[in-house]
């Protein structure tokens, strides 16, 4: 079979996946499949603040470096790297969330985190998820250390600091649950419009697309187009399609559910292909052997393009994605 990355490149988009640093290190089959099939990699956890600075001033870049080095983004057959994620309410180190810092200190810590992380990978990370999940489902701004201590100006400031650290990187606002109309999508649209009007260097909007086998992504293409019309790139950044599973490991599903899942995957890829400024589709992991879903949604799983049994065995969803890219 032709690798997804080749099929996608022929259609003018990049097909990528999230990568687990520990799986990359321990599992050669995983590393081979990653290299063969995907044109872009997103560290699933390795660049999060809790991982890179577990104690204040003590850094651990091992997992992130391993992923970027394996991708070899500037090499002849290199993969693009999507950096993930600089400013998020979650996966913050304990010293930061429990420490008593003044507003000025919080500002400095955030600016330095962005400068250090973006600066380290400047020229190698092509796109950054700068601000992740800033909204609640009702469209209000999500409570976080950043919003609560710095007010909503943290969003514009973060983009400006990231831009200064690597002017060539394309900077994304990344959100879930905004794939079709609703209060969150409306709020996201208004936020992006406002940031652009203020001259904030936002280059793209990422739609995570954590979906289920019964999702109906009919409105997704229109939503991508609506944002693209604002003058930004758009991308599918964390696609997975979870289905009910009968085992605790979340790997055993029915044929009917695997077929529904394939349809949803195909619809999402088709939506991206139909919008010229949709740059990439990234799946949030590629094998059911290493998936956040059974932990995050007990009773659900089998969300990826390859099963858990043999990393190399494609599921119906893989076939549908390949056919959609043809």
Give the footprint of ligand G3I on this chain (CB under 6 A). Answer: 44-45, 48, 90-91, 132, 208, 238, 292, 296
Q: How far is CA 123 from CA 69, 102, 109, 139, in A?
A: 13, 33, 23, 34
CB of 208 to ligand G3I, least distance (A): 6
Nearer to ligand G3I by Cβ, of 107 and 284: the residue is 284
CB of 22 to ligand G3I, least distance (A): 7
Nearer to ligand G3I by Cβ, of 38 and 292: the residue is 292
What residue is closest to ligand G3I based on CB? 292
- Which residues, 6+ apart, have CB-to-CB distance to 241 below 8 Å? 211, 212, 213, 215, 261, 264, 265, 303, 317
Nearer to ligand G3I by Cβ, of 98 and 102: the residue is 98
3-class secondary structure, 207: strand
Closest to 179 in 3D by CA, of 141, 213, 222, 214: 222
CB of 237 to ligand G3I, least distance (A): 8
Nearer to ligand G3I by Cβ, of 127 and 324: the residue is 127
**Active-site residue 238, yes or no?**
yes
Q: Answer yes or no: are the C-beta atoms of 285 and 17 closer than 8 Å.
A: yes
Q: Answer yes or no: are the C-beta atoms of 133 and 191 closer than 8 Å.
A: no
Candidate list 133, 175, 179, 238, residue with the active-site label: 238
CB of 288 to ligand G3I, least distance (A): 13
Left, alpha or beta for 299 (phi > 0: left; psi -120 to 50: alpha)?
left
Please give the positions annotated as active site: 238
């Amino acid at each position: 079979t032709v690798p997804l990355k080749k099929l996608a490149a022929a259609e003018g988009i990049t097909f990528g996946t999230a990568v687990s640093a520990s799986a990359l290190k321990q599992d050669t089959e995983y590393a081979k499949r990653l290299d063969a099939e995907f044109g872009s990699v997103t560290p699933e956890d390795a660049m999060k603040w809790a991982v890179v600075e577990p104690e204040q001033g003590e850094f651990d870049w091992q997992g992130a470096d391993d992923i970027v080095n394996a991708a070899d983004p500037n090499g002849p057959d290199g993969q693009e790297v999507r950096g993930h994620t600089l400013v998020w309410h979650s996966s913050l180190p304990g010293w930061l969330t429990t420490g008593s810092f003044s507003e000025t200190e919080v500002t400095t810590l955030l600016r330095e985190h962005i400068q250090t992380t973006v600066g380290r990978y400047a020229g190698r990370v092509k796109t950054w998820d700068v601000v992740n999940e800033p909204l609640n489902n009702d469209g209000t701004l999500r409570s976080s250390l950043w919003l609560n201590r710095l007010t909503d100006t943290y969003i514009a400031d973060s983009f400006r600091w990231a831009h200064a650290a690597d002017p060539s990187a394309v900077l994304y606002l990344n959100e879930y649950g905004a794939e079709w109309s609703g209060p969150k999508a409306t709020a996201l649209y208004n936020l992006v419009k406002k940031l652009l009007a203020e001259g904030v260097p936002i280059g793209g909007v990422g739609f995570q697309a954590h979906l289920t086998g019964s999702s109906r992504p009919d409105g997704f293409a229109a939503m991508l187009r609506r944002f693209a019309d604002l003058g930004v790139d758009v991308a599918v950044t964390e696609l997975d399609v979870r289905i009910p599973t009968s085992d605790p490991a979340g790997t055993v599903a029915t044929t009917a559910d695997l077929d529904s899942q394939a349809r949803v995957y195909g619809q999402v890829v088709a939506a991206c292909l139909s919008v010229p400024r949709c740059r990439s589709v990234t799946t949030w992991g590629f094998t059911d052997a290493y998936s956040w879903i059974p932990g995050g949604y007990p009773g659900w799983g089998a969300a990826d393009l390859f099963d858990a049994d043999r990393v190399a065995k494609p599921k119906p969803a893989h076939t549908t994605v390949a056919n959609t890219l043809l």
